[in-house]
């Protein structure tokens, strides 16, 4: 196997994909099938030499939203039983998987020997999700000075950075390259029972008021909210598409918010990402984090 050539192929292929996809990902747009064809042509042009295990790339074709990587293999070549796992690993290491996932591009590897197909590996874009849904150790925030007397704990996403919040009401912040999750506490006007809060939230005008207040620091467009339950407490959850200006640059991001109504407090949980194509996947992770919230005191 010619490792140097393989690495060169990976680098050039990744560069080609990144250059083409970067602007689309930033805008949160899906590229067209015609543009996927252009990517295929670019990769074919730059992909000279051998890939791993002595396979030699012949060309890359695009059919619909599927890229076909066609390889020639030598006589002794056999498809490894772990081929799919290894290919996904390589795509993750090179950073390419995130692009295929975000742009909903499936990939198919076709191995030929003297013009005859001797092996194929199909990878759906959903299999290339860059988001890990594991959670870290539970953090007890009961005695936190910004918890306002609330007793609760929460698990951060696995391997995300856990920091103290910077604002007066921000208890903690979890962050990674793909997003940020913040925990905020606020005082309510008075005590309300769970039933009273549910009744209150059944009023669309009240829901809108809470949602607008929660994202008042940003320029946001609200999507429809709904009332759910988090560890037995009524909770308003909603999505918002927002933008904020930072040193003259407008940054777009999407947020998923939860406002948990707890006695005379509100626990506000907000997950956000600027990778708009990744948002739906990140939303699932944020939901897993919210599901880890526990108010143990209610059972004392």
Partner 1 sequence: MKSYYFIKDGSQQGPFSLSELKNQDITRDTKVWFYGLEDWTKLSAIEELEELAWQPAREYDATNGRGIGFFLLILVAGTVIFISFLGEPDDKQNKDKTAPQTSSANAIYDVEEDFEMYLSKFYRDARYLGIYPPKAETTIVKFTKLDQQEATAHIHGVAMGMNDDNRIEIYINPSAWANFNKPMRYVVMYHELAHDILNLEHQQSDDQNTEKLLMYPDLADYRSFTMDQFIESYQTAFASHALTK
189 forms part of the interface with partner 1 (CB under 8 A): yes
149 forms part of the interface with partner 1 (CB under 8 A): yes
Nearest Cα to 4, choosing from 48, 70, 34? 48
Nearest Cα to 282, choosing from 177, 178, 167, 151? 178
65 forms part of the interface with partner 1 (CB under 8 A): no
206 forms part of the interface with partner 1 (CB under 8 A): no
238/168 Cα distance (integer angstroms): 23
Q: Name the segment binding partner 1 (CB under 8 A); options: 139-147, 161-169, 192-200, 234-242.
A: 192-200
112 forms part of the interface with partner 1 (CB under 8 A): no
3-state SS record for 27-57: HCCCCCHHHHHHHHHHHHHHCCCECHHHCEE
In whole angstroms, the minimum distance from the beta carbon of 242 to partner 1 comes to: 32
Number of residues that bind partner 1 (CB under 8 A): 15
In whole angstroms, the minimum distance from the beta carbon of 191 to partner 1 comes to: 5
195 forms part of the interface with partner 1 (CB under 8 A): yes
180/266 Cα distance (integer angstroms): 20
Nearer to partner 1, 33 or 297 (CB): 297
Burial-class residue 3 by CB neighbours within 10 Å (0-12, 13-18, 19+): exposed
In whole angstroms, the minimum distance from the beta carbon of 192 to partner 1 comes to: 7
194 forms part of the interface with partner 1 (CB under 8 A): yes
229 forms part of the interface with partner 1 (CB under 8 A): no
231 forms part of the interface with partner 1 (CB under 8 A): no
- Taking only Cα atoms into account, the Rg of the chain, rounded to an integer number of angstroms, comes to 24
283/220 Cα distance (integer angstroms): 17
* Sole residue written with tokens 């292929």: 13
3-state SS record for 82-106: CHHHHHHHHHHHHCHHHHHHHCCCE
Please answer whether residues 225 and 238 qualify as being in contact, where contact means their C-beta atoms are separated by less than 8 angstroms. yes
Residues 257-286 binding partner 1 (CB under 8 A) are 263-264
In whole angstroms, the minimum distance from the beta carbon of 144 to partner 1 comes to: 15
Nearer to partner 1, 47 or 260 (CB): 260
300 forms part of the interface with partner 1 (CB under 8 A): yes
193 forms part of the interface with partner 1 (CB under 8 A): yes
Binding site for partner 1 (CB under 8 A): 149, 151, 189-196, 263-264, 297-298, 300
């Amino acid at each position: 196997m010619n490792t140097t050539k393989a690495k060169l192929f990976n680098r050039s292929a990744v560069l080609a994909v990144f250059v083409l996809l970067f602007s689309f990902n930033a805008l949160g747009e899906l590229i067209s099938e015609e543009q996927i064809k252009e990517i295929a042509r670019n990769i074919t042009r730059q992909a000279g030499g051998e890939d791993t295990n002595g396979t030699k790339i012949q060309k890359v074709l695009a059919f619909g939203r599927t890229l076909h990587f066609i390889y020639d293999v030598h006589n002794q070549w056999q498809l490894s039983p772990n081929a799919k796992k290894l290919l996904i690993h390589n795509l993750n290491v090179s950073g390419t998987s995130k692009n295929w996932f975000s742009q909903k591009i499936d990939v198919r590897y076709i191995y030929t020997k003297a013009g005859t197909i001797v092996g194929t590996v199909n990878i759906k874009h959903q299999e290339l999700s860059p988001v890990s849904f594991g959670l870290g150790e539970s953090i007890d925030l009961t005695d936190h000075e910004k918890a306002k007397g609330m007793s609760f704990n929460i698990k951060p996403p696995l391997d995300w950075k856990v920091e103290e919040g910077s604002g007066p009401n921000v208890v903690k912040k979890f962050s990674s390259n793909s997003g940020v999750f913040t925990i905020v506490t606020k005082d309510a006007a008075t005590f309300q029972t769970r039933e009273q809060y549910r009744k209150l939230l059944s009023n669309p005008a009240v829901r809108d008021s809470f949602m607008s207040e929660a994202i008042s620091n940003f320029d946001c467009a609200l999507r429809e909210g709904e009332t759910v339950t988090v560890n037995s407490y009524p909770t308003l959850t909603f999505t918002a598409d927002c933008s904020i200006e930072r040193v003259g640059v407008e940054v777009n991001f999407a947020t998923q918010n939860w406002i948990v109504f707890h006695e005379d407090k509100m626990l506000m949980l907000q997950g956000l990402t600027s990778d708009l194509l990744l948002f739906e996947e990140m939303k699932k992770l944020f939901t897993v984090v919210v599901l880890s919230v526990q108010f143990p005191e209610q059972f004392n």
